[in-house]
Structure 1
Amino acid sequence: MTELSTEIHKRLTFAIVSHPDAGKTTITEKLLLFGGAIHIAGAVKSGKTGRTTVSDFMKMEQDRGISISTSVMGFEYKNRKINLLDTPGHADFSEDTYRGLSAVDSALMVIDSVKGVEERTRQLCAVCRMRNTPITTFINKLDREGKDPIELLDEVEKELGVRVCPVSWPIGQGRAFKGVLNIPENRIYLFRPGQEQLPSDTISINGLSDPVLDQSVGTSLANRLREDVEIISGVYPPFDREEYMHGTVTPVFFGSALNNFGVRELLDNLISIAPYPTPKESDEREIIPEEPKFTGFVFKIHANMNPRHRDRIAFLRIVSGTFERNKMYYHVRSGKSFRAANPTAFMSQDREIIDEAWPGDIIGLHDTGTFKIGDTLTEGEGINFKGIPSFAPQIFRSIMNADPLKEKQFHKGLNQLAEEGVVQIFSKLHQPNVRILGVVGQLQLEVLQSRLQNEYAADCKYEPVDVTIARWITAADKHILQNFIDANSRRILTDIRGTHIYVTDSEWSLNRVQEKNPGIQFFVTSEMTEPRRQN
């Protein structure tokens, strides 16, 4: 086995997705705790202790106890190099989550046992299924009185359209919750609530008839466990890794992330079943991780991760080959060379300089404005990876500088945050100085305002505009496209890439324009219209 192949087989790159408040960021912390990356876990809304979650590094995230931006964290566990992405659960930050899913090989879906499958869970699972991304499911908060576990399995299958395979099973629920049974291993994990350090109580049993089970959890819970396991063994087939790899079956684990129930068992199973770095599709061909030549793509840009340095970092997913520090690479979109003097690995906002990285790794590149989301680096080949689009906004506002003395700070912050993907910024054809913001949700406007103030010392104000729908446009015949733009100039905006967008105030109006202009193609994402550079 070559060094490249060895390093690939060590990697595990996955994202954690869920509906808000299902416990996603908490389980991220506990995975880091069990992986030895941190020694004490913070709480998401830790007002009493003053601690905040490691993965939430922006001030607004810490104040509100929600994840606004995808965080990247790396750690080692049992000879595996794990790259973990904690994605925003809130619908207003869908784009950041979708881009994060393009950079991983599998996903961990967290479900609240009290609320069951919720809307964001459905949406995120659908995105994973579109890409055939393998999904592992963790049903959280078993220490609370919630839905019956078998009812939850039925709900997952019905609502998410994916078959389930329970790998662990809860022993009791709510106040009676004692731990979990690992079904294939016949091993009981007994945990105590309120622990912040690593739990150690595990018991091996010789089948469910073993009296040790009754002694450990009590006869009543032991008998209930035996009944449940008999039922699920008859209903659900054994775990099939091939079906899991195709995204048609999800292994299910139960626990309580806040109290460390079931998390270590989950991590142990992830490193044994989750895929190594997988091939990625480009417009030109499929890229295999074992290819000796380096390729990678930028899926996220973040400015001011370290407010003291006011820096800007491009997050690069390595797809194939070996990335080397100080080596010259080809920036496909610009056609220019690029060299990284200080590539970094992440533990949320903490970073360390690395000399090399391998397929599956996510590294940070210091960026002075070179990169845009979706950019590709290679050793010379013109490759453009798929699946990193912008989405049509649903809310539009005109934005203005609220302080004339801070004009420079305002424009710098607005441009950097737009390139980062916090919001989309459009310009009018005949009034290029008029900036129109497009966002998926209202909270993005609050994030932009907060970050302009905290990171750029700039203030902004919003005004409504008569736009509710936007579509990127293109045409096979460039003359037809230009004639359409000229005839509808008041309804045409350009994005930061220079791509044209048609905007209107109603579905009826959009349908009418589409019927009158069959030569124009309208898209809800930018992926089909982005300019590409080829060799």
Structure 2
Amino acid sequence: MRSFMTVSKHFRRILDTSLRKCYSGNSEHAELSRIRNIGISAHIDSGKTTLTERVLFYTGRISSMHEVRGKDQVGATMDFMELERQRGITIQSAATYASWKDNVINIIDTPGHIDFTIEVERSLRVLDGAILVLCAVRGVQSQTFTVNRQMNRYKVPRIAFVNKLDRTGADPERVLSQLRSKLHYNAALLHLPIGLESENKGIIDIIDNKALYFKGDFGEEVIESDVPSDMASLVEMRRDELIDAVANVDEKLCDIYLSDQTPSPPELRSAIRRAVISRTFIPVLMGSALKNKGIQPLLDAVVHYLPNPSEVVNYAIDSSSSDDSTVVMNPSRDNKLPFVGLAFKLEAGKFGQLTYIRVYQGFIKRGDWMTNTRTKKKVRISRLARMHSDEMEDINEAMAGDICAFFGVECASGDTFTAVSSPPYTMESIHVPDPVISLSIKPQNKWDLEKFSKGLARFQKEDPTFRIHFEKESKETIMSGMGELHLEIYTERMRTEYDCPCITGKPKVAFREYITTPVSFDYQHKKQTGGAGQYGRIIGQLIPLTGDELTDLQFEDVTIGMNIPKHFVPAIEKGFLEICDEGFITGHKAVGMLMRLEDGASHSVDSSELAFRLAARGAVRTAFLQGNPVILEPIMTVEVVAPQEYERAVMSGLSKRGAVITGTEASEDYFTLFTRVPLNNMFGYASELRAKTQGKGEFSMEYCKYDVAPAFVQAELVKQYQDELQAKSKH
């Protein structure tokens, strides 16, 4: 297939007319019912960006298609960063928009690699629906689970698309089985393939009982035909299965089903739409993005089954109320309600800071003033734009349901903006996972310090999972992130975008300290130096947390009376959190504890916030060492795919790294190994796997949980920390 494909002038003219009709120059003229805000998410290398490229082509948004790795020196539209085109992976989420049959579709293409999970997280936070892409060969993979959890977290309705029917080993039936058994979906097929692998000729639409073939140079002509006679019985069986799956969760279709009537295609589509929006059913479509098959029916499914902005309930917290009550956002496009929008992504570009925003209520025009509810600052919108990858189209105003961007406004990812006269509404924040790996970093040339500081500050602002801090003792700048690739990409961006080559140190794992038994404390801080002294006594317990709260820190005030005046309690909590950040036995952060404040004492003159903060620090330090402390290490879920002939070598290598095998699968000539491995043991595994499989193996890794580290690892960390303390004391 040619990497550069140009659509005919006639086809382009038709699509341009559709886009103009849909927008009429400004997004505010599009009806709310005709808007879809969707994301495309999947495990790495499932074909998300290739799929998005085809969607843009068939909707007339682009006039030519290019491949992901950019063999023609162009690359896919949504992979606009040079690093993305070099490596053939998506690093940043990218937004665009298109029209399909008089409907506006705002699309966000997201990365598949776990290291860039924040891009998926903040995109799903503002989307109304999603396409979950699965490889027809690999099926449900490790990152599929992560994406599924993220979609569930934000209650995002979704449809599934089984891609790569043309690949050797494609088995969509197996993928459907995995969706049901692994992700516990109530799922059923809407399509069946007409042949698989190199024999794939098209698909069958089960609802309309039609065979669909994709003709023309680029599959732009969809030809409907009768179902092949040898597949008629299979189509009938799958249609019954589809009706049964939907009828189980939709009352209207159930009534038709129980009255022995056959639902018409419109009735079945309406039932599927209701079930998808209520998140009780997942329709499964299929095709091959690379071979230009199945994309137009997928676009029809986006319009038919995914919700428009008025069908999704979004809440904001009213900070002005005493109980932080929630308020339902009104997405109506013809109302005069005050503007409410959520900034979900930042980029520093040549025109200044670019802020992506989803409008949930009201509208905003260029030149309007609005308020950042976090900082309480008023800002003016000087420029509004609709994004197409890294290109912009200026617009005059944005309304509820729109996704757009503005320039020159200082804010953070997750900030809520409201109209100046509006109540201080705050949208639900974006979940930001904690970093699991750290590296020291410094500029290769001393005269690049200014560029070094500027680049790191920008990256930290854009990406909440990328953290920077300076260690005073070692005098090193430490960057923390979600994985080796995550930090490697930012190091490379320092070189390419700021002309600042950097040197990195050895990776450091984010170990954690944890107590295993509850312990009580009764601690008194007393200091007298003439004049007013310091006095604070606190009594309580440190209680270990378990399960999902293992990495949390919690504080509970159960005091009765005024032995400790209430205005000193926040200082006690502050002291508790401060000392936990510093660690006790290895210098790593202490987690998984509830500090319960039960009683204490104060002095009318000598007690102060400082005294109680220091009392809390001393109490926690003393009690922690009595709570049988242990060291926790991050455990990663690792999925390895390699040819069958290398299975024994791969399993042997992982066993030496302390892997616990949780499952295996075989498909054609490949095997998939599911394991859990301590992150500390995974450094350098990419090179090892390449060597053991002659470059044919690949793996993906994501954070799973924290667990107790082996005794020898704990002893080594404690000794290392003691040696560091001794070295400091000598100096």
Q: By the TM > 0.5 criterion, same fold?
A: yes
Q: Superposed, which structure 2 residues align to 1:304-453 within 5 Å?
A: 304=349, 309=350, 311-367=352-408, 370-379=410-419, 380-421=422-463, 423-427=465-469, 435-453=477-495
Question: Is 1:293–1:320's contact at 8 Å kept on the other side of the alignment?
Answer: yes
Question: Is 1:39–1:197's contact at 8 Å kept on the other side of the alignment?
Answer: no
1:79-136 CA-partner distances (Å, limit 9, x unpaired): 2111000000011111111111101000101111011111111211122123321111
CA, structure 1 residues 456+132, in 2 after alignment: closer, same or farther (shift >3 Å)? same
Q: Which residue of 2 aligns with 1:95?
A: 118
Question: Is 1:41–1:196's contact at 8 Å kept on the other side of the alignment?
Answer: no
Unaligned runs of 5+ in 1: 206-212, 215-221, 493-501, 525-535
Question: Is 1:40–1:196's contact at 8 Å kept on the other side of the alignment?
Answer: no
Question: Is 2:130–2:158's contact at 8 Å kept on the other side of the alignment?
Answer: yes
Is structure 2 residue 43 aligned with structure 1 residue 19? yes
Is structure 2 residue 346 aligned with structure 1 residue 301? yes
Alignment root-mean-square deviation, CA: 2.8
Q: Which residue of 2 aligns with 1:240?
A: 272
Q: Which residue of 2 aligns with 1:495?
A: none
Question: Is 1:423–1:444's contact at 8 Å kept on the other side of the alignment?
Answer: no
CA, structure 1 residues 231+65, in 2 after alignment: closer, same or farther (shift >3 Å)? same
Is the partner of 1:396 in helix, strand or coil? strand
Q: Superposed, which structure 2 residues align to 1:198-277 within 5 Å?
A: 198-205=219-226, 213-214=227-228, 222-223=229-230, 225-237=231-243, 238=246, 240-277=272-309
Separation (CA, whole Å) in 2 of partners of 1:478 and 1:155? 49
Unaligned runs of 5+ in 2: 1-26, 247-270, 319-325, 513-550, 557-568, 598-615, 621-633, 635-731
CA, structure 1 residues 154+335, in 2 after alignment: closer, same or farther (shift >3 Å)? same
Question: Is 1:7–1:358's contact at 8 Å kept on the other side of the alignment?
Answer: no
Question: Is 2:466–2:479's contact at 8 Å kept on the other side of the alignment?
Answer: yes
What amino acid maps onto 2:210 in structure 1? R
CA, structure 1 residues 469+7, in 2 after alignment: closer, same or farther (shift >3 Å)? farther
Q: Which residue of 1 aligns with 2:180?
A: 157
TM-score (norm 1): 0.83
1:259-295 CA-partner distances (Å, limit 9, x unpaired): 1111001101211221111232333323231262211
For residue 416 of structure 1, report the CA deviation from its aligned partner: 0.8
Q: Superposed, which structure 2 residues align to 1:14-163 within 5 Å?
A: 14-47=38-71, 49-163=72-186
For residue 474 of structure 1, report the CA deviation from its aligned partner: 6.4
Question: Is 2:206–2:239's contact at 8 Å kept on the other side of the alignment?
Answer: no
For residue 473 of structure 1, report the CA deviation from its aligned partner: 5.1
Separation (CA, whole Å) in 2 of partners of 1:101 and 1:420? 17
Is the partner of 1:124 in helix, strand or coil? helix
For residue 9 of structure 1, report the CA deviation from its aligned partner: 1.8
Question: Is 2:369–2:378's contact at 8 Å kept on the other side of the alignment?
Answer: yes
CA, structure 1 residues 416+119, in 2 after alignment: closer, same or farther (shift >3 Å)? same
Deviates more, 1:402-411 or 1:309-318: 309-318
Separation (CA, whole Å) in 1 of partners of 2:103 and 2:218? 22
1:479-528 CA-partner distances (Å, limit 9, x unpaired): 22232255456349xxxxxxxxx99659xx645xx26x34699xx9xxxx
TM-score (norm 2): 0.62
CA, structure 1 residues 387+330, in 2 after alignment: closer, same or farther (shift >3 Å)? closer
For residue 61 of structure 1, report the CA deviation from its aligned partner: 0.3
Q: Which residue of 1 aligns with 2:314?
A: 280
CA, structure 1 residues 246+397, in 2 after alignment: closer, same or farther (shift >3 Å)? same
RCO higher in 1 or 2 (8 Å CA, sep ≥ 6)?
Answer: 1
Is the partner of 2:427 in helix, strand or coil? coil
Separation (CA, whole Å) in 2 of partners of 1:479 and 1:87? 42
What amino acid maps onto 2:303 in structure 1? I
Percent of residue pairs bearing the same amino acid type = 26
